[in-house]
Amino acid sequence: MLRAAAMVERLGIPTASIIGSAFLKQGEVVSKGLGVPLAMGVYPGSPMLDGDEVLRAKVEESLAPGLLRGLTGAAPEEVPSEAEVAPGVIAFSGTLDEVEEHFHRKLWTDGLPIVPPTRERVDAFLAFTDRAPDEVLAVVPQEGREATIHSIAVNGVMAGCRPEYMPILVAVIEAMVDPQFRIQDCGSTPGWEPVVIVSGDIIKALDFNSGQGVMRVGRQANTSVGRFVRMYLRNICGYRIPPGAGDKGSIGQSFMVAMAEDEGTASEIGWTTYGQDRGFALGENVVTVHSVVVITSPMYSAGDRAVEHVQQWVDIMGQSFTYWAHTGFKTGVWNPLIIAGPTVAKIIASEWSKDEVRKYLYDRILVTAERATHYARMTSTPTFSLERLVKDGILPASYAESDDPQRLLNVIIDPSMIEILVAGDPGRNQSRAYMGNHIQGPPTSRRVALPSRWKELLAKRK
Amino acid sequence: MTSSPDEPRYDVLSPLSRKAVKTTAAAPRVPDLNGKTICELWDVIFRGETIYPLVREYIRKRFPDVRFVTYEEFGNFHGAREAQVSAEIPAKLRAHGADAVIVGIGA
């Protein structure tokens, strides 16, 4: 919202923005990052929790007077920023404990101890890329900082990555700063978390786990790459929970370890790999970053027929994802990601292609129009209207083909939005599904560019 | 915390990168809104359909000759059509002769 206000101020037109009191600190961070001091009228608390009389009183006593002051009073002034040490300059010297304490006090960690980012360690990471350390991939919200190769190396060191993960880390940030990923929404209240999906030969080269416990901390590659993502969002974007201010995830979730596919099994059973589904060649090294806002319970399924397993997915994904479907309806996008257990995938693949699985799920995961509308109204949008979304071209016509509130709607807007990869325990009949947060963090892929001396450098590390 | 004299020391780099913010001063304000036009931008959440009319009522009581161009004229600037709607805002503000803008709602 404040980005729109800043754009208008730059046109020379004064603005005043409506903001809930709980969002003021984040508003200050965003305003500074945008480089425009912004006037705000404050609504005390949340309008979603107040009756009409209380809402009117809060508007008249607080919000409207604040907006009026913002438009007619003194222009808001820039709040000076604290001086910072330049990148590449020694910021602190001390023992391990002193370094840890300094980083905690500065809000530069995720609450866990970090590996001290000494120049030597950072240089070891930079050796694993042919890119210049000062190359700027993008300027990122919320603090308006440069996403540089150097900053990737520093935060990679801190997160406990190994230097040879650097090509992965660079590709991850390239994906996350792609405008379609919407890194500006990483601090939104649903508290979604990016997950990195690794494809290609690099899975084995860097020892990513794609088998039992794939999404558990414990394997260095999966764990530290996942931690790096959250570290980067804190330090470069400024998404910090209190006593910081930029991250407004109401409850949130912890970082997600990187996901890797059991590509051997996927190919063996005759399915394309996830990387191929994303448009890359088999074995090509790729990362995809994908938001996760909901995770199903473990999806156990039994039987020797495809339909028995996929119907179980319909039931469990339907129970988990139906509530949040209204957000997908509002934006026309949302992507469920299924981790199919290798043995389950083998049974399904013996009868069905991935597209047949997608079609079955699409056809059978349904919600009534009345429930979807109710869920939207409870969350944030009292004016939610399927008819208007169809009229605006956001949803297909089928979503408004009747006005029967009990009509059934497809929870997944298009079968092609369903993503499937094979991973997990081959000795158990379990799968799991992850839901993206609509247009915030849609699957975004980047090739992993290896340095010219990759084999030589990797051999030295081993 | 205690440390022994022979404990190693670490010279560490900052994890932050340079800020690349181009600062702009806020636009001049409009002390008298009579005869002026206020445009509304709304992201279609958090009860704006109730809040905006109350704000209009409050401002009109103090500046009876103010004119409002309501949010329906501009569309939802956040979400599915964000890029397109945002790109059209400057021209629409000019066409409506906007003197001031109320933007909402972050809550």
A45-101 confidence digits (pLDDT tens):
999 999 999 999 999 999 999 999 999 999 999 888 888 999 999 999 999 999 999
Say whether pLDDT at A452 is over 80. Answer: yes
Between positions 368 and 407 of A, the ones with CB within 8 A of B are: 380-383, 392, 394
Question: For chains A and B, what is the number of CB pairs under 8 angstroms?
Answer: 277
Averaged pLDDT score across all residues of chain B = 94
Interchain CB distance below 8 Å, A108 and B98: no
- Write down the pLDDT at residue A113: 98
Q: What does the alpha-carbon distance between residue A179 and residue A440 come to, in Å, rounded to a whole number?
A: 10
The partner residues of A92 in beta bridges, in order of sequence, read B12
Q: What does the alpha-carbon distance between residue A87 and residue A449 come to, in Å, rounded to a whole number?
A: 24
| Amino acid identity, position B31 | P
For residue A20, count CB atoms less than 10 angstroms from its CB and return exposed for 0-12, middle for 13-18, buried for 19 or more: buried
Between positions 315 and 354 of A, the ones with CB within 8 A of B are: 330-333
The partner residues of A15 in beta bridges, in order of sequence, read B101
Mutate to test the interface with A, among B34, B76, B88, B103 (most CBs of A within 10 A): B103
Give the model's confidence band at B1: pLDDT under 50 very low, under 70 low, under 90 confident, else very high: low
pTM: 0.95
Averaged pLDDT score across all residues of chain A = 96
The arithmetic mean of pLDDT across residues A123-150, rounded, is: 97
Tell me if residue A238 falls in helix, strand or coil: coil
Domains in chain A: boundaries: 2-72, 93-292+439-462, 294-435
ipTM above 0.95, yes or no: no
Task: Tell me which DSSP letter residue A142 carries.
Answer: T
Domains in chain B: boundaries: 37-104
Interchain CB distance below 8 Å, B26 and A380: no
Q: Which residues of A touch B49 (CB under 8 A)?
A: 382-383
Q: What does the alpha-carbon distance between residue B26 and residue B22 come to, in Å, rounded to a whole number?
A: 13
Chain A residue whose CA is closest to B33: A72
Whether residue A253 contacts residue A190, with contact meaning beta carbons closer than 8 Å, is answered with no
Give the model's confidence band at B2: pLDDT under 50 very low, under 70 low, under 90 confident, else very high: low
Residue with tokens 């397109």: B84
Say whether pLDDT at A25 is over 60. Answer: yes
Q: What does the alpha-carbon distance between residue A212 and residue A233 come to, in Å, rounded to a whole number?
A: 28
Mutate to test the interface with B, among A9, A15, A178 (most CBs of B within 10 A): A15
Kind of pairing between the strands at B100-106 and A15-20:
parallel
CA distances (Å), origin A107, targets A111, A292, A299, A311, B1: 8, 25, 38, 46, 19
Q: What does the alpha-carbon distance between residue A266 and residue A261 come to, in Å, rounded to a whole number?
A: 8
The arithmetic mean of pLDDT across residues A198-222, rounded, is: 98
On whether any CB of chain B is under 8 Å from the CB of A18, the answer is yes
Give the model's confidence band at B3: pLDDT under 50 very low, under 70 low, under 90 confident, else very high: low
pLDDT single digits (tens) A316-345:
999 999 999 999 999 999 999 999 999 999
Q: What does the alpha-carbon distance between residue A78 and residue A28 come to, in Å, rounded to a whole number?
A: 10
H-helix or E-strand spanning residue A213: none
Chain A residue whose CA is closest to B22: A35
Interchain CB distance below 8 Å, A144 and B41: no
Mutate to test the interface with B, among A2, A3, A7 (most CBs of B within 10 A): A7
The arithmetic mean of pLDDT across residues A249-269, rounded, is: 97
- Write down the pLDDT at residue A237: 97
Say whether pLDDT at A234 is over 70. Answer: yes
H-helix or E-strand spanning residue B13: strand B10-13
Residue with tokens 């609509």: A438
DSSP-assigned letters across all residues of B24-86: -PPPP--S--TT-EEEEEE-S-TTHHHHHHHHHHHHHHH-TT-EEE-GGGT--SSSTTHHHHH
Question: Which among B104, B97, B30 has a CA at the least distance from the CA of B71?
Answer: B104
Q: Apex CA A121: angle with CA A181 and CA A149, to 5°?
A: 30
CA distances (Å), origin A318, targets A364, A366, A410: 9, 7, 10
- Write down the pLDDT at residue A78: 85
- Write down the pLDDT at residue A461: 87
> B67 — phi, psi (to 5°)?
-120, 135
Interchain CB distance below 8 Å, B28 and A75: yes
Tell me if residue A451 falls in helix, strand or coil: coil
- Write down the pLDDT at residue B6: 86
Q: Which residues of B touch A98 (CB under 8 A)?
A: 1, 3
